[in-house]
Amino acid sequence: MVIVDTCVWSLALRRNVIQTSSLVVIEFEQLIRSYKVQLLGPVRQEILSGIRSKPQFSKLKKHLSKFPDLPLITEDHENAAEYFNFCRAKGIQGSNTDYLLCAVAKRCGFAVYTTDKDFLLFSKHLPIKLHKPEHI
């Protein structure tokens, strides 16, 4: 199973996919076909945030409804905060959502699929696995 970060969802949902992004999207589509995609509520919120058109928002919300949220537990939030503090002490910055993805991925034994280079830094200091695409 793979937790998919907001940046990958965003690339896949864009109307004009540029060449380098298309390989990321192909891998994402393969993960969907293999029933491996996991979605976190905070990622769903990031995907839906900033959609100006109500019809477009409703359409996207409907598409995303096919992917249930992976349940979060208190431990996820506590570990995310611990990861944030640990990395910050090492001079590594990240968002709360990024660290939450790391915490949930660790707890569940899942990989994270992202194009965000910050996760390469996180993976050097945190017990997470990054998804290595087969098609890229």
pLDDT of residue 95: 96
Residue span of the structural domain in which 59 resides: 2-130
73 in any annotated domain: yes
Q: What is the pLDDT of residues 28-72, one digit of tens each?
A: 999 999 999 999 999 999 999 989 999 999 999 999 999 999 999
31 in any annotated domain: yes
SS3 (DSSP) at 22: helix
The CATH number of whichever domain residue 14 belongs to comes to 3.40.50.1010
Give the mean pLDDT of the chain. 93
E strands of 1-136, at which residues? 2-4, 37-38, 111-113, 129-130
E strand or H helix at 79: helix 74-89
88 in any annotated domain: yes
Within 8 A by CB and 6+ apart from 28, the residues are 4, 8, 9, 11, 12, 37, 113
50 in any annotated domain: yes
pTM of the predicted protein model? 0.91
12 in any annotated domain: yes
136 in any annotated domain: no
Domain total for the chain?
1
135 in any annotated domain: no
